[in-house]
Amino acid sequence: MITVLLVRHADIDLPPASADPPLNATGRARAEALARVVGRAGVTAVFTSALTRTKQTVASVGIESRVMPDDVAPRIRAGEFGDVVLIAGHSNTVPEVIAELGVAAPPVIGETEFDNLFVVTVSDDAALLSLKYATEIRGAPCPPAAD
């Protein structure tokens, strides 16, 4: 069985000031929390988009990330990247990869949602578990992104 952990990049300021914004302070704290959450999961490969915010989201995990290839899903299903794969993407790409892994009803991720952790288990079929992580940072609720 292969496990794929998928997250949208951590928090950024909305609307973004550039096409490639960095994580804001809450996003940096959430990224650190992600590293703690997945730290003992035995992650064997980490993929991101080419954008800064996805790379910053997984930087603390301690495994060098690679830009996700277009054919990542079939290669994951074939076991090419090991048993536990972490992917940091975007509100549109994470659901696409989940669907490509075989989940019939992938989630919809809202523009201000940064706290989803999707776990897809792949064997003969694919199953999806939707979790939340780091809904509180340092004992305080994460603020919603600025509108």
If pLDDT is split at 50, 70 and 90, which confidence band does 138 have?
A: low
More confident residue, 84 or 123: 84
Give the number of C-alpha atoms closer than 13 A to the C-alpha of residue 61, restricted to the C-beta side: 30
Mean pLDDT for the chain overall: 93
Given a cut of 90, whether residue 25 has pLDDT beyond it is yes
Q: What is d(CA 87, CA 126) in angstroms, rounded to the nearest whole number?
A: 16
Predicted TM-score (pTM) of the model is 0.92
Domain of 109 in residue numbering reads as: 13-136
CB atoms within 10 A of CB 41: 14
**What is the CATH classification number for the domain harbouring 40?**
3.40.50.1240
Q: What is d(CA 102, CA 132) in angstroms, rounded to the nearest whole number?
A: 21
Residue 141 lies in a domain: no
Residue 142 lies in a domain: no
Residue 4 lies in a domain: no
What is the H or E stretch that residue 127 is in? strand 126-132
Work out how many domains the chain is built from and give that number: 1
pLDDT value, residue 4: 98
Segment 11-21, tens digit of pLDDT: 999 999 999 99
How large a percentage of the chain has pLDDT more than 90? Answer: 89
Q: Which two tokens stand for residue 64?
A: 């060098």
Task: List the helix and strand counts (H, then E) for the chain.
Answer: 4, 8
